[in-house]
Amino acid sequence: MPPIPGSGLAKGLAVTLRTMTKRAHTAQYPETQPELPPRSRGVIGLFEENCTVCMLCARECPDWCIYIDSHKETVPAATPGGRERSRNVLDRFAIDFSLCMYCGICIEVCPFDALFWSPEFEYAETDIHDLTHERDKLREWMWTVPAPPALDPAAEEPKEIAAARKAVDKAEAAAAAAAAQAADTTPPTTPEADA
Protein backbone atom coordinates (compact mmCIF):
# COMPACT_ATOMS: atom_id res chain seq x y z
CA MET A 1 0.00 0.00 0.00
CA PRO A 2 1.52 3.35 -1.00
CA PRO A 3 2.04 5.99 1.71
CA ILE A 4 -0.56 8.68 2.04
CA PRO A 5 0.69 11.94 0.53
CA GLY A 6 1.67 14.43 3.25
CA SER A 7 1.90 11.80 6.05
CA GLY A 8 5.58 12.64 6.65
CA LEU A 9 4.73 16.31 7.06
CA ALA A 10 1.94 15.46 9.49
CA LYS A 11 4.29 13.30 11.61
CA GLY A 12 6.86 16.09 11.72
CA LEU A 13 4.25 18.65 12.77
CA ALA A 14 2.98 16.26 15.46
CA VAL A 15 6.47 16.08 16.96
CA THR A 16 6.72 19.88 16.85
CA LEU A 17 3.34 20.32 18.59
CA ARG A 18 4.26 17.79 21.30
CA THR A 19 7.51 19.62 21.98
CA MET A 20 5.81 23.03 22.05
CA THR A 21 3.36 21.93 24.75
CA LYS A 22 6.09 20.73 27.14
CA ARG A 23 7.53 23.18 29.63
CA ALA A 24 11.13 24.17 28.90
CA HIS A 25 13.71 23.48 31.58
CA THR A 26 16.40 26.14 31.62
CA ALA A 27 19.19 25.86 34.16
CA GLN A 28 19.98 29.24 35.68
CA TYR A 29 23.72 28.57 35.55
CA PRO A 30 25.54 31.27 37.48
CA GLU A 31 23.03 31.22 40.31
CA THR A 32 22.48 27.45 40.32
CA GLN A 33 25.54 25.21 39.97
CA PRO A 34 25.01 22.14 37.80
CA GLU A 35 25.06 18.68 39.35
CA LEU A 36 27.93 17.05 37.51
CA PRO A 37 28.37 13.30 37.19
CA PRO A 38 31.15 11.86 39.38
CA ARG A 39 33.52 11.18 36.48
CA SER A 40 33.23 14.58 34.77
CA ARG A 41 36.30 15.94 33.05
CA GLY A 42 36.92 19.48 34.15
CA VAL A 43 40.55 20.24 34.84
CA ILE A 44 43.61 18.10 35.62
CA GLY A 45 45.13 18.16 39.10
CA LEU A 46 48.75 17.22 39.89
CA PHE A 47 49.77 15.27 43.00
CA GLU A 48 53.41 16.33 42.87
CA GLU A 49 54.72 13.87 45.48
CA ASN A 50 53.84 10.93 43.22
CA CYS A 51 55.48 12.37 40.09
CA THR A 52 58.79 10.67 39.23
CA VAL A 53 59.38 12.73 36.06
CA CYS A 54 59.06 9.62 33.88
CA MET A 55 57.71 11.87 31.07
CA LEU A 56 55.11 9.30 29.96
CA CYS A 57 52.29 11.84 30.12
CA ALA A 58 54.17 14.36 27.96
CA ARG A 59 55.21 11.70 25.44
CA GLU A 60 51.74 10.22 25.06
CA CYS A 61 49.88 13.57 24.87
CA PRO A 62 48.53 13.91 21.31
CA ASP A 63 48.44 17.72 21.58
CA TRP A 64 51.87 18.18 23.21
CA CYS A 65 50.31 20.44 25.81
CA ILE A 66 52.28 19.13 28.84
CA TYR A 67 55.61 20.80 29.60
CA ILE A 68 58.01 19.11 32.03
CA ASP A 69 61.49 20.26 33.07
CA SER A 70 63.68 18.39 35.53
CA HIS A 71 67.24 17.87 36.66
CA LYS A 72 69.15 14.94 38.14
CA GLU A 73 70.37 14.88 41.73
CA THR A 74 72.82 12.43 43.24
CA VAL A 75 71.57 10.62 46.31
CA PRO A 76 74.33 9.37 48.65
CA ALA A 77 74.63 5.66 49.34
CA ALA A 78 72.24 4.35 51.97
CA THR A 79 74.76 1.88 53.37
CA PRO A 80 78.54 2.12 53.72
CA GLY A 81 80.20 0.71 50.64
CA GLY A 82 77.04 1.13 48.58
CA ARG A 83 76.89 3.14 45.41
CA GLU A 84 75.37 6.55 44.87
CA ARG A 85 72.07 6.80 43.03
CA SER A 86 70.66 9.52 40.86
CA ARG A 87 67.05 10.64 40.80
CA ASN A 88 65.00 13.07 38.76
CA VAL A 89 63.77 16.22 40.48
CA LEU A 90 60.77 18.05 39.06
CA ASP A 91 61.49 21.69 38.17
CA ARG A 92 58.46 22.54 36.05
CA PHE A 93 55.17 20.80 35.29
CA ALA A 94 52.68 22.80 33.24
CA ILE A 95 49.60 22.01 31.18
CA ASP A 96 48.37 24.36 28.47
CA PHE A 97 44.58 24.04 28.67
CA SER A 98 44.16 26.14 25.53
CA LEU A 99 45.64 23.17 23.62
CA CYS A 100 44.33 20.30 25.77
CA MET A 101 41.53 18.25 24.23
CA TYR A 102 40.60 16.53 27.53
CA CYS A 103 41.20 13.03 26.18
CA GLY A 104 42.57 11.78 29.53
CA ILE A 105 45.46 9.82 28.01
CA CYS A 106 47.95 11.50 30.37
CA ILE A 107 45.95 10.39 33.40
CA GLU A 108 45.60 6.83 32.12
CA VAL A 109 49.29 6.34 31.28
CA CYS A 110 50.65 7.78 34.54
CA PRO A 111 52.04 4.71 36.37
CA PHE A 112 52.34 6.50 39.72
CA ASP A 113 48.90 8.16 40.05
CA ALA A 114 50.18 11.72 39.89
CA LEU A 115 47.41 13.14 37.63
CA PHE A 116 43.69 13.19 38.42
CA TRP A 117 40.49 14.61 36.92
CA SER A 118 38.80 17.38 38.87
CA PRO A 119 35.17 18.32 38.06
CA GLU A 120 36.01 22.04 38.30
CA PHE A 121 35.27 23.76 35.00
CA GLU A 122 35.22 27.47 35.85
CA TYR A 123 38.73 28.52 34.93
CA ALA A 124 38.12 30.72 31.90
CA GLU A 125 40.63 33.53 31.37
CA THR A 126 40.63 36.75 29.35
CA ASP A 127 44.21 36.13 28.18
CA ILE A 128 45.04 32.83 26.47
CA HIS A 129 48.49 32.78 28.11
CA ASP A 130 46.84 32.44 31.52
CA LEU A 131 45.43 29.05 30.48
CA THR A 132 48.88 27.51 30.94
CA HIS A 133 48.68 26.26 34.51
CA GLU A 134 52.00 25.74 36.27
CA ARG A 135 52.52 23.13 38.98
CA ASP A 136 51.36 25.40 41.83
CA LYS A 137 48.03 25.96 40.12
CA LEU A 138 47.76 22.25 39.24
CA ARG A 139 48.36 21.41 42.91
CA GLU A 140 45.49 23.72 43.89
CA TRP A 141 43.21 21.80 41.51
CA MET A 142 44.25 18.58 43.27
CA TRP A 143 42.27 19.57 46.37
CA THR A 144 39.06 19.66 44.30
CA VAL A 145 39.41 16.06 43.12
CA PRO A 146 36.54 13.97 44.54
CA ALA A 147 37.27 10.91 46.65
CA PRO A 148 37.21 7.60 44.79
CA PRO A 149 33.98 5.62 44.96
CA ALA A 150 33.61 3.13 47.78
CA LEU A 151 34.69 -0.41 47.07
CA ASP A 152 32.15 -3.13 46.53
CA PRO A 153 31.57 -4.76 49.96
CA ALA A 154 31.75 -8.21 48.35
CA ALA A 155 35.02 -7.43 46.56
CA GLU A 156 38.30 -9.06 47.49
CA GLU A 157 40.57 -6.99 49.70
CA PRO A 158 43.46 -5.34 47.76
CA LYS A 159 46.79 -7.16 48.11
CA GLU A 160 48.55 -4.09 49.49
CA ILE A 161 46.03 -3.65 52.30
CA ALA A 162 46.05 -7.38 53.09
CA ALA A 163 49.87 -7.38 53.30
CA ALA A 164 49.85 -4.28 55.53
CA ARG A 165 47.20 -5.82 57.78
CA LYS A 166 49.25 -9.04 58.13
CA ALA A 167 52.37 -7.03 59.00
CA VAL A 168 50.48 -5.07 61.69
CA ASP A 169 48.94 -8.24 63.13
CA LYS A 170 52.37 -9.91 63.21
CA ALA A 171 53.93 -6.88 64.95
CA GLU A 172 51.11 -6.77 67.51
CA ALA A 173 51.49 -10.51 68.19
CA ALA A 174 55.26 -10.10 68.64
CA ALA A 175 54.73 -7.17 71.05
CA ALA A 176 52.16 -9.17 73.04
CA ALA A 177 54.53 -12.17 73.22
CA ALA A 178 57.40 -9.92 74.35
CA ALA A 179 55.20 -8.35 77.04
CA ALA A 180 54.07 -11.79 78.26
CA GLN A 181 57.66 -13.05 78.36
CA ALA A 182 58.77 -9.94 80.27
CA ALA A 183 55.97 -10.51 82.80
CA ASP A 184 57.07 -14.16 83.31
CA THR A 185 60.76 -13.34 83.85
CA THR A 186 60.30 -10.68 86.55
CA PRO A 187 60.80 -12.18 90.01
CA PRO A 188 57.85 -11.87 92.34
CA THR A 189 58.30 -9.35 95.10
CA THR A 190 57.87 -10.55 98.69
CA PRO A 191 57.46 -8.52 101.86
CA GLU A 192 60.73 -9.92 103.22
CA ALA A 193 62.65 -8.66 100.15
CA ASP A 194 61.27 -5.15 100.75
CA ALA A 195 62.40 -5.08 104.40
Element holding 73 (H helix, E strand): strand 66-75
CA pair distance 104, 116, nearest whole angstrom: 9
Q: What is the pLDDT of residue 194?
A: 52
CB 134 within 8 A of CB 92: yes
CB 149 within 8 A of CB 38: yes
pTM: predicted TM-score of the whole model, two decimal places: 0.65
pLDDT of residue 163 exceeding 90: no
**CA 18 to centroid of chain Cα atoms:** 45
Q: What is the pLDDT of residue 82?
A: 86
pLDDT in tens, 45-56: 999 999 999 999
CB 66 within 8 A of CB 110: no
Q: Please state whether beta strands 66-75 and 132-133 pair in parallel, antiparallel, or not at all (unpaired).
A: unpaired
pLDDT in tens, 74-131: 988 888 888 899 999 999 999 999 999 999 999 999 999 999 999 999 999 999 999 9
Q: Which of 130, 137, 149, 109 is nearest to 44 (CA)?
A: 137
CA pair distance 152, 48, nearest whole angstrom: 29
Q: What is the pLDDT of residue 35?
A: 85
